Amino acid sequence: MTHALLLPDFRHERVEVVTGSRSGLFIAVALHSSVLGSALGGARLWTYPTWSDALGDALRLSAAMTLKNASAGLDAGGGKSVIGLPPGTVLDADRRRAAFLDLGDAVESLGGLYRTAEDVGSTTEDMLTVSERTAHVVGLPEAGGGSGEPAGPTSLGVYSALIATLERSAGVRDVAQRRITIAGLGQVGGRLAERLSAEGAVLTVTDVNPAKRALATALGAAWVEPHEAHLVPADVFVPAGIGGVLTDEVIDALDVRAVCGPANNPLADRSGADRLAQRGDPLRPRLRRERRRRDLPRPRGEAARDA
């Protein structure tokens, strides 16, 4: 279940909210911006406390996609869709198919201004179902002519970012014996955990799905409950699940050198970025001395600050 957060400011071009005619489920399609082109963003299937929480997630996620697509230099705006499950809902195969057919109709209603894709809780096979109702969908299975599961390349990108983060915060580019906490063992977080474990990282992991504990056991990783993950001393905390995990209280309690992860909108509020920055880096002076002693490469621009 996701965190209950306040609705963000409404600055979207268009938002469609429907009750699926087949599934009876809440569906929101949020188009934040099409300035750079047809909006692009995945379809999330998740459990929410209320329909307004599902709507808020769609609004926040779509706004983030505008920034992500622009930063990547894509000719694409930002959008997102959400299928909200009431607490305790378990979808059988028929109702799941009905839900994604309903999503396809909702996407089609925007006339090409928004393209959907896989996201948390959805799969490439689900996108194939969506394609029965609209052509405005990407990330189809390879067998269906699509690009296939994107989690592999995504996890590689996160790994590269984590290596850069370790270089910045610890002066090393090697995960061996580095303490890393991963909160979320889905398609991306699970793959990242497997790679880090193979390279000798000391892992602590968690997930809202207790069945993921089997992966922790297989990898030799320590398991903690989700609400305890941020309290574990670590070099890097990796939010790899739902958004909003970095509340003011969590940020203040973090016992880590750095945060780096694939979760969309990990901050509960944008002010959390300043709150993280204000914590500073008490390790920086020691790391500078250590780099001098060991002749380690410095992050770009640090030599000028030391002068």
CA count, 13 A, side-chain hemisphere, 286: 6
pTM for this predicted structure: 0.78
Among 9-13, 88-92, 272-276, 290-294, whose mean pLDDT is lowest? 290-294
Fold of 151-279: Rossmann fold (3.40.50)
Instruction: Tell me the two tokens of residue 100.
Output: 């994604």
pLDDT-based confidence at residue 106 (cuts at 50, 70, 90): very high
Retrieve residue 20's tokens.
Answer: 């699926």
- Encode pLDDT of 189-226 as tens digits: 999 999 999 999 999 999 999 999 999 999 999 999 99
Indicate the domain borders of the chain. Answer: 14-144, 151-279
- Report domain 14-144's class: alpha beta
Give φ, ψ of 237 to 5 degrees: -100, 125
Determine the Cα–Cα distance for residues 286 and 232; give it in Å rounded to an integer: 22
Q: How far apart are CA 1 and CA 207, in angstroms?
A: 11
**Domains 14-144 and 151-279 belong to one CATH topology:** yes
* Residues marked as catalytic: 80
